[in-house]
Structure 1
Amino acid sequence: MGNWISYAGEVYGIYIRDAAQQVLVADNIILANPGADLTRALSAYTDSIVVRGNLLNYTERWAVNPLNINGVYTLVVPDIADAVSISQSSAQVASIVTAQAQATAGQIVYCKLISGGVNYSHATVSFSGAGVNAAATAWISGGSILGIQMSNNGTGYGPGTTVMINGDGSGASAIVQVGLPVWQNRKLTVDCLSNVTFAAAGSTPVLSNWTNAPITVPGGASIDWIGDNGGWRAMQFCQRDYVSPNGDGSVTLRTQAGDISLHPAGNGAVRLLSDTEPMGAVELIGRGPPVNIISAPPGSTFRNLNG
């Protein structure tokens, strides 16, 4: 926190491994020297980290555009970044991942200890799954496994990968993480310099929002994402799918599919009014004739649902 960090070549600026817990990376100034890989400013193989307020080469917002990666329109963002900007997008964004998450796809990034067990003096670690070459070492103290250190992350692993701890003790267990997860409560602001649509159904990691439908952020507006249960949730955003200002002071209400419903509470009505007619007129619905029952301004209408 609050450090000046300089790195060059293929080394990492900030390097965190083996599921270190409750990590804070904040308010650092990171300088990548000429030739340095900018995606290596932060490499954190953990699920318990807060990243905020860091500057890489004094840049607060990184310009990135979505790319088609294996048929999925993907936004790849720097791990260190709090905010990025998109200048163009030719299809719905269906995935948001960090650069390190993209690089570690199919790798076992860490093993997280569930139980240290008892009576160990030595132990070996092995993995089962579709991948190859992953290797790790178990660290022991006082007869219990303290942690598992990856020495080779392997390749080609996927769902169902498990870790086995064998030795002269008993009770040790751990889980594996294949590929970097979206960090819980990780915040990312995306500035949209042109219209950008974010998919909902089928997105990986999940891109969820309260509408449960794709959302289009208009050019000149932003969307704030937050890491939530392994995916992203739209925390707040401007969108033009339902309410669209037209630039001349007018506005358009529309749907992505289906009807528009206006639902006044109780016996309320839909009222149409203007600056010159502040009382306006109302649109009413009910059952039976309205005569001597309902009063309304001149020009109002009543629809009898009984026919």
Structure 2
Amino acid sequence: MNSDQFTAIVGLGGVALGIGGTLIAARVQLRGSQAQAEATRRAAETTAVTQYAATLMQQNRAAQRAVYVALLEAANAFGRAVDQICWRSSSASGELLQERMAQLLKSFSAVELEGPSAVIESAERIIEFAETIAAYLSGGQEYRPWRKLRDTDRHGSDKETAARLAVEALDALRTVTRTISLEVLASMRRSSDIVAFTEALGESGTAWRQKYARAREMLVPLCTMGVLESPEVDVLLRDAGLSHYPFDKSIDQWDSQMHSAIYGFVNSARQQLNNTKPENLEDQLQVRGGERSELS
């Protein structure tokens, strides 16, 4: 190989290297452009998804607010019906209460659809107390005797003192009953002679029999006065003498608890409506990313 050939070969090698460098530089530049374009596209997509999520959140909050307000209105209407029964004794009060309870349950169903779970749980407490109050005021079998006692004690009459003494005697019996274990009380309920059963319970059994006898003594005159019927006396004695957890709370206590439940619902609803963070944004971005991968 002479010097001219060697020079030509070296020159061609330099040209090849130069072309290779140019191609490499162009490829690097292309990748940079593609990365920048991808970043721009992802930023635009993130903005679009964020805007979509925000719009969807606004729609959801509007729907939630509507059903929350409807439940509060139904609860307030139910409360007014309760007041009408307790203080006005209207002949239409029973039907009115049923209508208000039905509307309250309908409103609760809408809350269940809209959620979230924290608000649903708060609403459930309203329904729980409303159903208890409705059962009490409807004069159901287990509540009727207590309703008669409370009404006599509340409105006042020549029977008021007798009713108050009977309630106090039942409360005293309940206090002693709570010193007896639930297992023993379950056995007492199955016994054919409850009073005889307590003779084996020692001091607690003796105290129970004394309070039981006192409660019966206070209840019997109310039958003579026409406040109670004889079977209702037995219902009251079994409730106070065989259960730790009574259904003898007054309507005022239940009404107060229901109002507390309403306040709790309002707080839960307010927290939900004031939460302005778009929901499920990351999930939506992941879904869109999966769609791009499938298309590619």
Please give the range of the TM-score, normalised by the shorter of the 2 chains: under 0.3
Give the number of the structure whose residues are more often strand, by fraction: 1
Bigger relative CO (Cα 8 Å, ≥ 6 apart): 2
Give the number of the structure whose residues are more often helix, by fraction: 2
Larger Rg, first or second structure (1 or 2) = 2
Question: What's the TM-score, normalizing by structure 1?
Answer: 0.23
